[in-house]
Amino acid sequence: MKKRVILLGPPGAGKGTQAMRLTGAMNVPHISTGDMLREARAKGTELGKKADAYMQAGALVPDELVNGIVVEKLAGEDGYLLDGFPRTIAQADALEKAGEKIDAVILIDVADDILISRITGRLSCPKCGSVYHKINMPPANEGICDRCLGPLVQRADDNETTVRQRLDAYHAQTQPLVDYYEKRGLLTRIDGAAPLEEGFQAIKKALEF
C-alpha cells in the first residue's frame, strides 16, 4: 500500500535530493506547493484563477485558497510525498479535515551552523543548472562548470545575513508544526548532517519500505 508522507526540513537540509530518491523508491509523486499552484493556474480551475490574481499582484496566496488547491490535487492520489505543505497548523488541520490520513512525517534536521556553511558555499551554473559547493563539492576548475564549462555564480541571497533570517523564519513557522505531528506520533527526525546515503536508508527504515 502506498504511503502519504510529509517531508519537513530547513533550507539547505537536502529535502529536494532526498525527495527525488524517495519518490522513485516509493512509487509516489513528489508534490510541492509551488507545483500545485502552477498546475492549478495552468488548468484554469476556479481555485487556480483566484490564486493567480494574488500571484500576479505579488501577494501571498491566502491559506484557504492554498488549502483548497492542495486538497483538490491530493483527492486523486493514493500516495504522495508532500513538500512545502503544510507550513502552518491551520494547513495541517485542513488536511486532516479533508480526510487526508498522513502515514508519516519526516523531519530532516540539521544544525543552523552546518546549514549556513552549506548555503553560503553554494555555486550554481545558470546555463545548465548544475550545483557545486566551494568546499564540499568544488568544480575541477575554479569558477567553471564541469558539465558545460559555463561560469559559476553564487545566488545574491546566499549570504550569511539572509540565510540566518531565512532560518529564523523557518524555525518560527515550523516548530509548532513539528510539535503538532510529534504529539500525534507521526514524526521521525533524520540527521541531515549524515552522508546522503545514510540519511536515505534511515528514511527508508522509518517508512518501512
Q: Which residues form the catalytic set?
A: 15, 87, 122, 155, 166
Residues in the chain: 209
Pairing of the two strands 4-8 and 122-124:
unpaired
Beta-carbon contacts of residue 140 (< 8 Å; ≥ 6 apart)? 146
Question: Among residues 13, 33, 23, which one has the least CA distance to residue 81?
Answer: 23
Question: Among residues 92, 118, 120, 116, which one has the least CA distance to residue 186?
Answer: 92
